[in-house]
Amino acid sequence: MSKTALLFAGQGAQVVGMGKDLAEKFPTAKTWFDRANAALGYDLAGICFNGPETELTKTEHAQPGIFLVSWVCFQLLKEQAPNLKFDAAAGLSLGEFTALTAAGAMSFEEGLRVVRQRGKFMQEACDVTKGGMAAIIGLDEAPTREVCAEAGVVLANLNCPGQLVISGEAVKIVKACELAKAKGAKRALPLPVAGAYHSPLMASAQPKLGAELAKVNLVSPVVPVISNVTAQAHRMPAEISARLVEQVCASVLWETSLRALLAQGFTRFIELGPGTALSGFMKRIDKTATMLNVADAASLEATVAALNR
């Protein structure tokens, strides 16, 4: 019997218009978008549907926006494919909160509110630190770590073979890109982000996020949810909270997380939320894995058809 894991999108996947066709076609989706607006007290759905892009890309809107659209994709998939059973979940950075919510560790409203606050705290950290990030393409982990040590930056995301992300002070990121190219990286591209996520420059967000998580009624998830920090399943509620706080500054062990699921016999993965970045990573990790996704009405239809075959 094949095992299925759900994968939830992370920051950077946001795009103006996300979720709009789902809200127009499915009453369930419209209900969730309305619930989100009521929970937050502002029109997050409108920012997702209509932008402007400058508003949507603000961390305090992008994070709850991606959480919300990913959640709606999850709810519609359950509605359209009622026999679907998932055996684990994981999410990239902010997506880990969506994964935990999908696995019942917190309520939708609590998850949405804490993610909105997380985005706000991280934006505040960005505003007082001059940080940046860059994608390092085509260089292995060991030489990339040497580059980080030499430039004084950190390895933020280990996404898949040949795709790593570094994070740190903006001027040091420029130097690191030059060093990476000198070591044989195919490309070293600064990313259009507000700051140095998953680096020590985000430290000021950690105690604030910890205080917000203390208000959340966390329970153990009903299926294993993989932690970005450890690449192992979360356990007790106190541990979940501690790992989520740690995750703000820690490296995202995405490739290791997916390899752990593959080693446990998972063969089918469904990406939920805007974009297909996680599907792309999986192709680089294991081409034989079945990869489906739900981002809009068309991909929902295609995934439901594939599940029913």
Q: What is the pLDDT of residues 215-251, one digit of tens each?
A: 999 999 999 999 999 999 998 999 999 999 999 999 9
- In whole angstroms, give the CA distance from residue 298 to residue 296: 6
H or E segment to which residue 154 belongs: strand 154-160
Residue 226 per-residue DSSP state: B
* pLDDT given for residue 1 in this prediction: 67
Residue, of 193 and 298, whose pLDDT is higher: 298
64-85 mean pLDDT: 97
Asked, as a colleague might, if the bond just before 192 is cis with ω within 30 of 0, I would say no
pLDDT at 146: 98
With beta carbons less than 8 A apart as the criterion, state whether 176 and 153 touch: yes
Report the pLDDT averaged over residues 171-199.
Answer: 95
Q: Does 122 have pLDDT greater than 70? A: yes
Q: Which domains does the chain have, with CATH numbers?
A: 3-127+200-308 (3.40.366.10), 130-190 (3.30.70.250)
With beta carbons less than 8 A apart as the criterion, state whether 90 and 99 touch. Answer: yes
Tracing tokens 């430039």 back to the chain, one arrives at 151
Task: Report how far residue 275's alpha carbon sits from residue 157's, in angstroms, rounded to the nearest whole number.
Answer: 18
The span from the CA of 29 to the CA of 35, in Å, is 10
Q: Is residue 124 very low, low, confident or very high in pLDDT (cuts 50, 70, 90)?
A: very high
Q: Give the separation between CA 131 and CA 204, rounded to whole angstroms.
A: 13
Q: Return all residues near 120 (Cβ < 8 A) that are at least 6 apart.
A: 59, 60
Give yes or no for residue 282 having a pLDDT over 80. Answer: yes
Q: Which residues contact 242 (CB under 8 A, 6 or more apart)?
A: none
Please tell me which residue in 198, 199, 251, 257 is annotated as part of the active site.
Answer: 198
Active site residue 234: no
Contact between 33 and 67 (Cβ < 8 Å)? no
Residue 50 pLDDT: 97
Residue of 93, 199, 227, 257 with catalytic role: 93
Instruction: State the average pLDDT for the chain.
Output: 97
Does the annotation mark 251 as catalytic?
Answer: no
Residue 66 near residue 95 (C-beta atoms within 8 A): yes
Measuring CA to CA, which residue among 294, 228, 221, 284 is closest to residue 92? 228
The pLDDT of residue 293 is 98
pLDDT at position 309, please?
86
Kindly write down the DSSP assignment for every residue of 89-116, as one continuous string: EEESTTHHHHHHHHTTSS-HHHHHHHHH
Average pLDDT for residues 143-170, to the nearest whole number? 97
In the DSSP assignment, the letter for residue 228 is T
193 pLDDT more than 90: no
Q: Give the mean model confidence (pLDDT) for residues 107-111.
A: 98
Which residue type, as a one-letter code, is found at position 23?
A: A
